[in-house]
């Protein structure tokens, strides 16, 4: 069994492995996954050393939480870290037909999501997540996509999470978004422990570098980077690939092919470079990869360990494929594994 390095989040006592299991896919993201396949994916990740698992009520209308809780039930609770999210309450829709594919999940539309960043909504969300997961505590609770609810998230949801942290119901507080601006505000104005930044610090998109990552470093806030493959383009470049869950623009497809060509000259899979790139920044404590199968879990762990020479990063800078100011894993420090 492989061991992965653990990094502590901010001022909390929570430490996460450098590779995290993103459980949206086992909530039937886009296409169905059966129970056995979901359990096999978690088992393969566990064997690869992964001890941080992330889910949310949003993922499959609770299916991801149910499946993750079931897959982790036999594991020692002290050995893994689990995060879920608040901001969307699931309400039953008796008699409703159809599916939830309009929201990205191949599940029956048996519930509807209601935005709620109130204090009561946060407590209700945590209680319902604990029931679905069959746990008595959550290690990290993220404010989930409060793009249009910033003030309520700051004034009501965050204080409610702070109280739950004081009560020991949760271990750390975070914010999870696919933008960098609002998380930067939370870093400055609150005592959050971690930011889950999706898709905004990758080989194709470094928007998190300007303000969020420096602010997190200065304030001692951990950053877990999700979406390192930008929803598919950096995992397998092709004209049909997706970027941010939509058809990839031609100019980004061309850029991904250029990145792949440079990596190929060094014998490095593009997936390995994409997975390891965020670790060049000192604020980054881990990367989170969405996994739906045992094969994907094993591949992610292998890509994290794949040697990436400093010369590759240097060439990407020289060709303008990375900004000169973007730190890389080999910059004056021990290379990440």
Residues assigned a catalytic role: 59
| E strand or H helix that includes residue 129 | helix 119-133
Distance CA 13, CA 324 (A): 35
* C-alpha closest to that of 237 among 288, 287, 273: 273
Distance CA 208, CA 203 (A): 12
Distance CA 80, CA 15 (A): 9
211: left (phi over 0), alpha (psi -120 to 50) or beta: alpha
119-133 and 158-166 helices cross at what angle (nearest 10)?
Answer: 50
98 φ/ψ angles, rounded to the nearest 5 degrees: 85, -170
């Amino acid at each position: 069994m492989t061991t992965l390095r653990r990094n502590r989040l901010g001022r909390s006592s929570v430490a996460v492995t450098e590779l995290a299991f993103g459980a949206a896919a086992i909530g039937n993201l886009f296409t169905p996954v059966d129970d056995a396949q979901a359990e096999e994916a978690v088992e393969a990740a566990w064997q690869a050393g992964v001890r941080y698992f992330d889910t949310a009520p949003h993922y499959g209308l609770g299916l991801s939480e149910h499946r993750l809780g079931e897959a982790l039930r036999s594991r020692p609770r002290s050995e893994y870290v689990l995060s879920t999210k608040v901001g969307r309450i699931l309400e039953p829709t008796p008699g409703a037909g159809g599916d939830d594919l309009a929201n990205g999940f191949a599940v029956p539309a048996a519930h509807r999501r209601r935005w709620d960043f109130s204090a009561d909504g946060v407590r209700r969300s945590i209680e319902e997540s604990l029931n679905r997961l069959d746990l008595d505590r959550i290690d990290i609770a993220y404010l989930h996509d409060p793009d249009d609810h910033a003030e309520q998230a700051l004034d009501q949801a965050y204080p409610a999470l702070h109280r739950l942290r004081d009560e020991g119901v949760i271990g750390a507080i975070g914010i999870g978004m696919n933008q960098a601006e609002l998380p930067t505000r939370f870093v400055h104005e609150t005592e959050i422990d971690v930011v889950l930044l999706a898709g905004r610090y990758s080989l194709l998109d470094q928007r998190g570098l300007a303000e969020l990552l420096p602010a997190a470093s200065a304030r001692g806030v951990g950053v877990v980077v999700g979406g390192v493959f930008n929803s598919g383009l950096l995992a397998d470049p092709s004209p049909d690939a997706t970027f941010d869950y939509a058809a990839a623009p031609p100019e980004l497809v061309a850029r991904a092919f250029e990145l792949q060509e440079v990596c190929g000259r060094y014998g490095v899979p593009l997936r390995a470079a994409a997975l390891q790139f965020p670790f060049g920044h000192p604020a980054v404590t881990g990367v989170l990869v969405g996994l739906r199968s045992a094969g994907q879990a094993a591949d992610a762990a292998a890509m994290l360990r794949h040697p990436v020479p400093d010369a590759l990063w240097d060439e990407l800078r020289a060709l303008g494929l990375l900004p000169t100011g973007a730190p890389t894993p080999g910059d004056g420090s021990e290379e990440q594994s």
